[in-house]
Amino acid sequence: MSSGVCQTRWVRLTHPPADLAPERRRSYQIFIHVYLFAIATHVSFIPIFAALDVAVLMLLNLACIAANIVAIALHRHGRRTQALLIKLGAVIILVIAAGMMLGDETGCEYFFFVLLFEVLISDLTRRLKLLLSALVISLILATEHLLFGTLGNWPYSDLSRELLFSLNVVATFVLFTFIVLQVYAITETTERRFRTDATHDSLTGVLNRRAVFDKVERYWQAEQPFALLLLDADHFKCINDNHGHSVGDEVLRHLAQLLGNTLREDDFIGRVGGEEFLVVLPDTTLEDALSVAARLRNELARSPCRLESLDLGVTLSMGLALSSEADELRDVVDLADRRLYLAKSSGRNQLFAQGGESREAEMGEGVTARLLPEMPSADNA
Protein backbone atom coordinates (compact mmCIF):
# COMPACT_ATOMS: atom_id res chain seq x y z
CA MET A 1 0.00 0.00 0.00
CA SER A 2 2.73 2.49 1.04
CA SER A 3 4.89 1.64 -1.97
CA GLY A 4 1.95 2.33 -4.27
CA VAL A 5 1.33 5.70 -2.61
CA CYS A 6 5.02 6.60 -2.88
CA GLN A 7 5.08 5.62 -6.53
CA THR A 8 1.99 7.71 -7.23
CA ARG A 9 3.51 10.72 -5.50
CA TRP A 10 6.80 10.22 -7.35
CA VAL A 11 5.02 10.13 -10.72
CA ARG A 12 2.97 13.19 -9.79
CA LEU A 13 6.13 15.07 -8.76
CA THR A 14 8.26 14.20 -11.78
CA HIS A 15 5.53 14.31 -14.43
CA PRO A 16 5.33 17.67 -16.24
CA PRO A 17 2.19 19.77 -15.67
CA ALA A 18 -0.47 19.31 -18.33
CA ASP A 19 -0.33 22.96 -19.39
CA LEU A 20 3.45 22.95 -19.88
CA ALA A 21 4.58 23.53 -23.46
CA PRO A 22 5.95 20.34 -25.11
CA GLU A 23 9.38 21.91 -25.74
CA ARG A 24 9.73 22.59 -21.98
CA ARG A 25 8.80 19.13 -20.77
CA ARG A 26 12.25 17.59 -21.20
CA SER A 27 13.98 20.34 -19.22
CA TYR A 28 11.30 20.11 -16.53
CA GLN A 29 11.85 16.39 -15.99
CA ILE A 30 15.64 16.64 -16.10
CA PHE A 31 15.86 19.33 -13.43
CA ILE A 32 13.25 17.79 -11.16
CA HIS A 33 15.47 14.69 -11.06
CA VAL A 34 18.59 16.86 -10.61
CA TYR A 35 17.07 18.61 -7.59
CA LEU A 36 15.98 15.32 -6.03
CA PHE A 37 19.39 13.71 -6.57
CA ALA A 38 21.11 16.83 -5.19
CA ILE A 39 19.04 16.50 -2.01
CA ALA A 40 20.20 12.89 -1.64
CA THR A 41 23.83 13.99 -2.18
CA HIS A 42 23.66 16.69 0.49
CA VAL A 43 22.05 14.25 2.93
CA SER A 44 24.95 11.83 2.40
CA PHE A 45 27.53 14.55 3.21
CA ILE A 46 25.97 15.58 6.52
CA PRO A 47 27.37 12.61 8.52
CA ILE A 48 30.78 13.16 6.92
CA PHE A 49 30.97 16.76 8.12
CA ALA A 50 29.56 15.66 11.47
CA ALA A 51 32.46 13.21 11.79
CA LEU A 52 34.87 16.02 10.88
CA ASP A 53 33.17 18.23 13.50
CA VAL A 54 32.57 21.07 11.01
CA ALA A 55 29.17 22.35 12.15
CA VAL A 56 29.08 25.21 9.65
CA LEU A 57 29.32 22.85 6.67
CA MET A 58 26.65 20.62 8.19
CA LEU A 59 24.31 23.62 8.44
CA LEU A 60 25.16 24.70 4.90
CA ASN A 61 24.28 21.23 3.61
CA LEU A 62 20.96 21.49 5.41
CA ALA A 63 20.49 24.91 3.79
CA CYS A 64 21.21 23.35 0.38
CA ILE A 65 18.58 20.70 1.03
CA ALA A 66 16.06 23.42 1.86
CA ALA A 67 17.12 25.38 -1.24
CA ASN A 68 16.53 22.35 -3.46
CA ILE A 69 13.09 21.80 -1.92
CA VAL A 70 12.22 25.44 -2.63
CA ALA A 71 13.63 25.02 -6.15
CA ILE A 72 11.35 22.03 -6.75
CA ALA A 73 8.31 24.04 -5.64
CA LEU A 74 9.26 26.98 -7.89
CA HIS A 75 10.09 24.65 -10.77
CA ARG A 76 6.69 22.99 -10.58
CA HIS A 77 4.99 26.40 -10.73
CA GLY A 78 6.84 27.44 -13.86
CA ARG A 79 9.45 29.67 -12.20
CA ARG A 80 12.36 27.63 -13.51
CA THR A 81 14.94 30.42 -13.68
CA GLN A 82 14.42 31.40 -10.04
CA ALA A 83 14.53 27.74 -9.04
CA LEU A 84 17.88 27.13 -10.70
CA LEU A 85 19.40 30.35 -9.37
CA ILE A 86 18.41 29.48 -5.79
CA LYS A 87 19.90 26.01 -6.13
CA LEU A 88 23.12 27.32 -7.70
CA GLY A 89 23.50 30.07 -5.11
CA ALA A 90 23.20 27.68 -2.18
CA VAL A 91 25.75 25.24 -3.60
CA ILE A 92 28.19 28.03 -4.51
CA ILE A 93 28.13 29.29 -0.91
CA LEU A 94 28.68 25.74 0.37
CA VAL A 95 31.62 25.05 -1.96
CA ILE A 96 33.33 28.38 -1.26
CA ALA A 97 32.89 27.94 2.49
CA ALA A 98 34.29 24.40 2.31
CA GLY A 99 37.33 25.64 0.41
CA MET A 100 37.91 28.49 2.83
CA MET A 101 37.58 26.29 5.93
CA LEU A 102 39.26 23.09 4.74
CA GLY A 103 41.94 24.46 2.44
CA ASP A 104 43.05 23.14 -0.94
CA GLU A 105 43.44 19.57 -2.19
CA THR A 106 40.06 18.47 -0.79
CA GLY A 107 38.29 18.35 -4.16
CA CYS A 108 35.53 20.81 -3.24
CA GLU A 109 36.18 22.88 -6.35
CA TYR A 110 35.07 20.03 -8.62
CA PHE A 111 31.46 20.73 -7.73
CA PHE A 112 31.75 24.01 -9.64
CA PHE A 113 32.01 21.99 -12.84
CA VAL A 114 28.75 20.22 -12.02
CA LEU A 115 27.11 23.62 -11.57
CA LEU A 116 28.56 24.80 -14.88
CA PHE A 117 27.14 21.73 -16.61
CA GLU A 118 23.71 22.35 -15.08
CA VAL A 119 23.75 25.93 -16.39
CA LEU A 120 24.68 24.80 -19.90
CA ILE A 121 21.90 22.16 -20.17
CA SER A 122 19.21 24.39 -18.70
CA ASP A 123 16.61 26.25 -20.76
CA LEU A 124 17.83 29.65 -19.58
CA THR A 125 18.33 32.34 -22.19
CA ARG A 126 21.66 32.30 -24.00
CA ARG A 127 22.70 35.61 -22.43
CA LEU A 128 21.97 34.36 -18.93
CA LYS A 129 23.81 31.11 -19.62
CA LEU A 130 26.91 33.03 -20.71
CA LEU A 131 26.68 35.30 -17.69
CA LEU A 132 26.31 32.44 -15.20
CA SER A 133 29.00 30.39 -16.91
CA ALA A 134 31.44 33.31 -16.64
CA LEU A 135 30.47 33.73 -12.99
CA VAL A 136 31.06 30.07 -12.16
CA ILE A 137 34.43 30.02 -13.96
CA SER A 138 35.45 33.19 -12.11
CA LEU A 139 34.47 31.62 -8.81
CA ILE A 140 36.53 28.53 -9.63
CA LEU A 141 39.62 30.68 -10.19
CA ALA A 142 38.96 32.98 -7.24
CA THR A 143 38.31 30.13 -4.83
CA GLU A 144 41.39 28.18 -5.88
CA HIS A 145 43.84 31.08 -5.99
CA LEU A 146 42.48 33.57 -3.43
CA LEU A 147 40.06 31.94 -0.98
CA PHE A 148 41.37 28.45 -0.27
CA GLY A 149 42.42 28.16 3.37
CA THR A 150 41.60 31.74 4.38
CA LEU A 151 39.51 30.50 7.32
CA GLY A 152 41.67 27.52 8.20
CA ASN A 153 43.41 24.49 6.76
CA TRP A 154 42.90 20.76 6.95
CA PRO A 155 43.39 19.89 10.63
CA TYR A 156 43.60 16.13 10.18
CA SER A 157 46.00 13.66 8.62
CA ASP A 158 46.98 13.66 4.96
CA LEU A 159 45.32 10.28 4.58
CA SER A 160 41.95 11.62 5.72
CA ARG A 161 42.34 14.58 3.34
CA GLU A 162 43.05 12.20 0.48
CA LEU A 163 39.97 10.22 1.41
CA LEU A 164 37.82 13.37 1.33
CA PHE A 165 39.39 14.35 -2.00
CA SER A 166 38.55 10.91 -3.42
CA LEU A 167 35.02 11.14 -2.02
CA ASN A 168 34.46 14.53 -3.66
CA VAL A 169 35.82 13.26 -6.98
CA VAL A 170 33.54 10.23 -6.83
CA ALA A 171 30.57 12.41 -5.84
CA THR A 172 31.10 14.81 -8.74
CA PHE A 173 31.55 11.89 -11.14
CA VAL A 174 28.32 10.32 -9.89
CA LEU A 175 26.50 13.64 -10.27
CA PHE A 176 27.84 14.10 -13.80
CA THR A 177 26.90 10.54 -14.72
CA PHE A 178 23.43 10.84 -13.22
CA ILE A 179 22.69 14.11 -15.04
CA VAL A 180 24.00 12.80 -18.37
CA LEU A 181 21.97 9.61 -18.05
CA GLN A 182 18.87 11.63 -17.16
CA VAL A 183 19.39 13.87 -20.17
CA TYR A 184 19.81 10.84 -22.42
CA ALA A 185 16.89 8.84 -21.01
CA ILE A 186 14.44 11.73 -20.90
CA THR A 187 15.51 12.94 -24.35
CA GLU A 188 14.91 9.46 -25.77
CA THR A 189 11.51 9.27 -24.08
CA THR A 190 10.57 12.76 -25.25
CA GLU A 191 11.65 12.13 -28.84
CA ARG A 192 9.80 8.83 -28.86
CA ARG A 193 6.68 10.59 -27.65
CA PHE A 194 7.10 13.29 -30.29
CA ARG A 195 7.47 10.63 -33.00
CA THR A 196 4.37 8.86 -31.74
CA ASP A 197 2.40 12.11 -31.58
CA ALA A 198 3.50 12.95 -35.12
CA THR A 199 2.46 9.61 -36.60
CA HIS A 200 -0.50 8.47 -34.51
CA ASP A 201 -4.04 9.70 -34.09
CA SER A 202 -4.44 11.22 -30.63
CA LEU A 203 -7.96 9.85 -30.10
CA THR A 204 -7.68 6.25 -31.25
CA GLY A 205 -3.95 5.55 -31.07
CA VAL A 206 -3.78 4.15 -34.61
CA LEU A 207 -1.71 5.72 -37.38
CA ASN A 208 -2.87 9.14 -38.52
CA ARG A 209 -3.71 9.99 -42.13
CA ARG A 210 -0.24 11.16 -43.13
CA ALA A 211 1.55 8.23 -41.51
CA VAL A 212 -0.66 5.52 -42.98
CA PHE A 213 -0.39 6.97 -46.48
CA ASP A 214 3.38 7.29 -46.08
CA LYS A 215 3.54 3.57 -45.33
CA VAL A 216 1.31 2.79 -48.29
CA GLU A 217 3.59 4.92 -50.47
CA ARG A 218 6.61 2.87 -49.37
CA TYR A 219 4.85 -0.35 -50.32
CA TRP A 220 3.95 1.16 -53.68
CA GLN A 221 7.49 2.36 -54.37
CA ALA A 222 8.85 -1.09 -53.48
CA GLU A 223 6.31 -2.66 -55.89
CA GLN A 224 5.02 -4.86 -53.10
CA PRO A 225 1.40 -5.92 -53.68
CA PHE A 226 -1.23 -4.94 -51.14
CA ALA A 227 -4.93 -4.44 -50.65
CA LEU A 228 -6.61 -1.31 -49.31
CA LEU A 229 -9.73 -1.67 -47.22
CA LEU A 230 -11.45 1.65 -46.60
CA LEU A 231 -13.95 1.48 -43.72
CA ASP A 232 -16.65 3.88 -42.58
CA ALA A 233 -18.74 3.53 -39.42
CA ASP A 234 -22.41 3.56 -40.47
CA HIS A 235 -24.72 6.27 -39.11
CA PHE A 236 -21.99 7.62 -36.85
CA LYS A 237 -23.49 11.10 -36.91
CA CYS A 238 -26.60 9.68 -35.23
CA ILE A 239 -24.44 8.39 -32.35
CA ASN A 240 -22.98 11.88 -31.84
CA ASP A 241 -26.36 13.54 -32.13
CA ASN A 242 -28.21 11.11 -29.84
CA HIS A 243 -25.55 10.32 -27.24
CA GLY A 244 -23.00 13.12 -27.43
CA HIS A 245 -19.51 13.45 -28.84
CA SER A 246 -17.86 11.83 -25.81
CA VAL A 247 -19.80 8.63 -26.51
CA GLY A 248 -18.85 8.95 -30.18
CA ASP A 249 -15.19 9.16 -29.17
CA GLU A 250 -15.56 5.99 -27.09
CA VAL A 251 -17.09 4.22 -30.08
CA LEU A 252 -14.18 5.26 -32.29
CA ARG A 253 -11.65 4.08 -29.71
CA HIS A 254 -13.49 0.78 -29.38
CA LEU A 255 -13.63 0.37 -33.13
CA ALA A 256 -9.92 1.12 -33.57
CA GLN A 257 -8.93 -1.29 -30.81
CA LEU A 258 -11.11 -4.07 -32.16
CA LEU A 259 -9.80 -3.60 -35.70
CA GLY A 260 -6.22 -3.59 -34.46
CA ASN A 261 -6.71 -6.77 -32.44
CA THR A 262 -8.40 -8.55 -35.34
CA LEU A 263 -5.89 -7.78 -38.07
CA ARG A 264 -2.97 -9.99 -38.97
CA GLU A 265 0.54 -9.28 -37.72
CA ASP A 266 1.73 -7.48 -40.87
CA ASP A 267 -1.48 -5.52 -41.46
CA PHE A 268 -1.80 -1.96 -40.21
CA ILE A 269 -4.55 0.57 -39.79
CA GLY A 270 -4.88 4.34 -39.87
CA ARG A 271 -7.61 6.86 -39.20
CA VAL A 272 -8.07 8.95 -42.34
CA GLY A 273 -11.24 10.87 -41.49
CA GLY A 274 -13.79 11.47 -38.77
CA GLU A 275 -15.12 7.91 -38.73
CA GLU A 276 -13.12 6.51 -41.65
CA PHE A 277 -10.27 4.04 -41.26
CA LEU A 278 -7.88 2.67 -43.84
CA VAL A 279 -6.66 -0.90 -43.40
CA VAL A 280 -3.61 -1.92 -45.41
CA LEU A 281 -3.18 -5.63 -46.12
CA PRO A 282 0.29 -6.40 -47.56
CA ASP A 283 0.77 -9.39 -49.90
CA THR A 284 -2.94 -10.13 -49.89
CA THR A 285 -5.11 -11.64 -52.61
CA LEU A 286 -8.71 -10.65 -53.20
CA GLU A 287 -10.05 -13.72 -51.45
CA ASP A 288 -7.78 -13.21 -48.44
CA ALA A 289 -8.85 -9.57 -48.22
CA LEU A 290 -12.50 -10.61 -48.29
CA SER A 291 -11.79 -13.07 -45.51
CA VAL A 292 -10.15 -10.35 -43.40
CA ALA A 293 -13.10 -8.02 -44.01
CA ALA A 294 -15.57 -10.73 -43.00
CA ARG A 295 -13.60 -11.39 -39.82
CA LEU A 296 -13.59 -7.69 -38.94
CA ARG A 297 -17.31 -7.47 -39.50
CA ASN A 298 -18.08 -10.56 -37.43
CA GLU A 299 -15.85 -9.46 -34.54
CA LEU A 300 -17.57 -6.10 -34.48
CA ALA A 301 -20.97 -7.80 -34.34
CA ARG A 302 -19.83 -9.96 -31.42
CA SER A 303 -18.28 -7.05 -29.54
CA PRO A 304 -20.48 -3.93 -29.50
CA CYS A 305 -19.19 -0.87 -27.68
CA ARG A 306 -20.38 -1.38 -24.10
CA LEU A 307 -20.74 1.75 -22.02
CA GLU A 308 -22.24 2.17 -18.56
CA SER A 309 -25.90 2.28 -19.55
CA LEU A 310 -26.00 1.13 -23.17
CA ASP A 311 -24.51 -1.17 -25.77
CA LEU A 312 -23.86 0.47 -29.11
CA GLY A 313 -23.60 -1.86 -32.06
CA VAL A 314 -21.76 -0.41 -35.04
CA THR A 315 -21.73 -1.70 -38.61
CA LEU A 316 -19.22 -0.89 -41.33
CA SER A 317 -19.42 0.03 -44.96
CA MET A 318 -16.28 -1.03 -46.82
CA GLY A 319 -14.55 -0.39 -50.11
CA LEU A 320 -11.78 -2.75 -51.20
CA ALA A 321 -9.15 -2.17 -53.88
CA LEU A 322 -6.03 -4.09 -54.88
CA SER A 323 -2.77 -2.38 -55.78
CA SER A 324 -2.78 -4.27 -59.08
CA GLU A 325 -6.00 -2.56 -60.20
CA ALA A 326 -4.42 0.76 -61.16
CA ASP A 327 -1.16 2.21 -62.44
CA GLU A 328 -0.98 5.02 -59.88
CA LEU A 329 -1.32 4.84 -56.10
CA ARG A 330 -3.75 7.74 -56.11
CA ASP A 331 -6.01 5.79 -58.45
CA VAL A 332 -5.96 2.76 -56.12
CA VAL A 333 -7.01 4.95 -53.20
CA ASP A 334 -9.71 6.64 -55.28
CA LEU A 335 -11.02 3.24 -56.35
CA ALA A 336 -11.34 2.10 -52.74
CA ASP A 337 -13.06 5.39 -51.91
CA ARG A 338 -15.58 5.06 -54.77
CA ARG A 339 -16.36 1.49 -53.73
CA LEU A 340 -16.91 2.70 -50.18
CA TYR A 341 -19.34 5.27 -51.56
CA LEU A 342 -21.15 2.50 -53.45
CA ALA A 343 -21.43 0.46 -50.24
CA LYS A 344 -22.87 3.43 -48.34
CA SER A 345 -25.27 4.46 -51.08
CA SER A 346 -26.47 0.86 -51.49
CA GLY A 347 -27.74 0.48 -47.95
CA ARG A 348 -24.53 0.36 -45.87
CA ASN A 349 -23.25 -2.58 -43.81
CA GLN A 350 -21.63 -4.23 -46.82
CA LEU A 351 -18.45 -4.44 -48.84
CA PHE A 352 -17.82 -3.49 -52.45
CA ALA A 353 -14.76 -5.07 -54.01
CA GLN A 354 -15.79 -4.53 -57.64
CA GLY A 355 -17.16 -1.66 -59.68
CA GLY A 356 -16.48 2.02 -59.25
CA GLU A 357 -13.85 2.06 -62.00
CA SER A 358 -15.09 5.49 -63.10
CA ARG A 359 -16.01 8.48 -60.96
CA GLU A 360 -19.50 8.48 -62.42
CA ALA A 361 -20.12 4.85 -61.50
CA GLU A 362 -23.44 4.22 -59.78
CA MET A 363 -25.30 1.11 -58.77
CA GLY A 364 -26.54 -0.58 -61.89
CA GLU A 365 -25.42 -2.78 -64.71
CA GLY A 366 -21.75 -3.67 -64.62
CA VAL A 367 -21.33 -2.81 -60.94
CA THR A 368 -21.25 -5.84 -58.66
CA ALA A 369 -21.16 -5.81 -54.86
CA ARG A 370 -19.03 -8.49 -53.22
CA LEU A 371 -21.18 -8.90 -50.17
CA LEU A 372 -19.77 -10.34 -46.98
CA PRO A 373 -21.35 -13.37 -45.32
CA GLU A 374 -24.48 -12.63 -43.35
CA MET A 375 -23.53 -10.86 -40.15
CA PRO A 376 -24.53 -12.82 -37.04
CA SER A 377 -26.76 -11.05 -34.59
CA ALA A 378 -25.45 -10.10 -31.18
CA ASP A 379 -27.78 -12.64 -29.56
CA ASN A 380 -26.24 -15.50 -31.54
CA ALA A 381 -22.66 -14.36 -31.21
As a dihedral over the C-alpha atoms of residue 173, residue 174, residue 175, residue 178, rounded to 10 degrees, the angle is 120
Query: Half-sphere exposure of 268 toward its Cβ, with a 13 Å CA cutoff?
Result: 18
In angstroms, what CA-CA distances link 51 with 156, 225, 308?
Answer: 12, 75, 64
Angstrom distance (rounded) from CA 12 to CA 15: 5
Task: Please choose, from the candidates 118, 93, 89, 266, the residue with its C-alpha nearest in 3D space to the C-alpha of residue 183.
Answer: 118
Amino acid code (one letter) for 191: E
Q: Which of 275, 299, 328, 362 is catalytic?
A: 275
Instruction: Report whether 188 contacts 140 (CB < 8 A).
Output: no
Residue 229, beta-bridge partner list: 279, 320
Q: Phi and psi for 228 in degrees, rounded to 5?
A: -110, 130
DSSP state letters, 148-207: TTTT----S-HHHHHHHHHHHHHHHHHHHHHHHHHHHHHHHHHHHHHHHHHHB-TTT-SB
Are 167 and 117 spatial neighbours (Cβ–Cβ below 8 Å)? no
In 3-state terms, the chain is what percent helix, strand and coil (to 5)? Answer: 65, 10, 30
Q: 65: closest CA among 22, 85, 105, 36?
A: 36
Determine the residue type at 32.
I
Residue 278's SS3 state is: strand
The number of helices, as runs of H, and strands, as runs of E, in the chain is 12, 7
Strand partners, 228: 280, 321
Taking only Cα atoms into account, the Rg of the chain, rounded to an integer number of angstroms, comes to 32
265 is catalytic: no
Q: In terms of DSSP bridges, do strands 316-322 and 351-352 run parallel, antiparallel, or are they unpaired?
A: parallel
How far is 194 from 171, CA to CA, in rounded Å? Answer: 34
Q: Which residues are catalytic?
A: 275
